Structure 1
Amino acid sequence: MRRAAAFLALLLCLYWTGAQGESGGLTGNDITQTEIQSEILGVKSTSDQTNITPDIWAELKELRDMAIEHSVELRNSKSKIEKLEQEKLKIESADMMARLKISEHVMEELKMENTDLLDRVTSFEDKNKVLEARMTVSENEVEELKRQNADQPKVAFSLGLTDSGTIGPFNTDITLKFSKVITNFGQVYSPTTGLFTAPVRGAYYFSFTTLDGRNNVRREVHLYHNDKRVLNSHNYSAHSSESVSNSLVLQLEKGDVVYLVLPAGQSVYDSAEDFTSFNGFLLFPL
């Protein structure tokens, strides 16, 4: 029992020594064998222990050294752990910085792409506005042309003379009256009078063909503008069934008349096949 009490006192002494070392107090090197002996002797006098062998002192010293060594190793381990944690934090911080730089670079590229896209969209919108403006102009021009075309009179005629065969010759000049109306847009030609009357001031195109079935005769026909002869067409042939054809463009005022005249002594021939015809139309108003 006395040995157990002495050993317990020794353990309490070692625990106190370790606590002083950790708290910055006495270290293992500061505790001398004499101090330990004094403490043990105090325990001895208290517990009436009368005998402690030298082996116990050696064991106590070995235990104290082990406790100090463990305390130092614990502090070193803590220091190593702190260093490792700091290194880990540095690595993680460097990795985060690198990732942040990559993200910033990607963000700059996206900003540049977005700017380029906005520029392209703006350019497209500008081109689209130009196209819309041109389309509006074109539509307006088309509408104006439609209006002009609607306002422009429809003037055109194509006529055949007769189905009765030969007309003439006569002792005087006569106006040929084309009785077979093929087309007469605007009702500009009168089969009764044989006159084409211009409905508007403009440029007009006229053409005619006449056929004469006689032999060895002079074939002739005249085109008149009002009372003025503007075209004299003729030929001479020993053969029968010769035709005379001609055409011209006239500038007419509104109300002017155009007609074909068969001179005295001349004749023309026509049938259902329209060998003799008279045609005209408005080229454009003036």
Structure 2
Amino acid sequence: MRAAISLLVLLFSMCGAQTRSTQTEVQTESQSTGAAAAAAEVSTQLDVSAELKELRDMVVELRVLLTVTQNELQNTKAEMKTEVENLKKENAALETGLAATETDVEELKMDSAAHEQELAALKTRLAASETGIDDLKVENAAQEAELTALKTRLAATETENEVENLKKENAAQEAELTAVKTRLAATETEVDNLERITEKSKVAFSAGLTDSGYLVAGNTELNLVFSKIITNAGQAYSSTSGFFTAPVRGVYYFRFTVLDAPYSRHMGIKMYKNGQYLMGLYDYDTDGQNSYLSSGLTLQLEVGDEINLRIPAGYRLYDSVHNHSTFSGFLLFPL
């Protein structure tokens, strides 16, 4: 609209300027030409008439354009008024919204202040947390150092324990080896003893009494010496003392047989162990026949125990080259 108004004003100005210019030119030409002007006056007037006609047409067009422009201006004013009303309404709505916005802004400011306080509190808590984290880091570093030290000590302790265990195992093995050696030595000793015992356990003897006939005991018992060795394996029987001495601990069997000639005095015999009386046999000749006494004992003897036979006081025995009276013994088994 403003552009249209500016265009009309420009056209009016151009028309006026053109008319004035034409008139000025006509007058100037008239005066300058003098006589010639009169001759050309008619032609000039015709041209001016044509231009005036054009100007009138232009003015008519301008009036029509002005009318249209005025109508448009009226419409534009109405539109502008409507637009102004709308703008006022919008402005009122904006003011209302602005007031609400200001209220919201105040609330936001209050919220912002509260948030700032909360943020400050959070920053304080964060600072405290960071301080706590730093303390925890320091404590964690100390704990890690302590843990490393403990691991080192544990490794050293495990090594020491392993060494101690190895020492103990070695000591136990040495003790076991010593025990084995001791047992081996004892076994060897026992084997040696068994060998000696085995050698000594080869014990058996038989001996005849005498070739001289009668042996008579007086008022005391007479120790019998069976001097005629028949067998004496192990040499445990002495043909000079008449004693059997046990070479090994064991169970032995002893047996004797003695003779008395007919029409003799009483016949008797006793067996002793280490001087202690064990048994005795007696016979009284009444029929004029040879009399025999025979018996035996199984005895458990310790090493060094002695066995011997005696004639009781007042009794007698008889023997000759025929070995009527004999004393025998042997080891049944060692203990």
Shorter-chain TM-score tier: 0.3 to 0.5
When you count helix as a share of all residues, which structure comes out higher? 2
**TM-score normalised by L of structure 1:** 0.46
Larger Rg: 2
More strand by share: 1
TM superposition score normalised by structure 2: 0.40
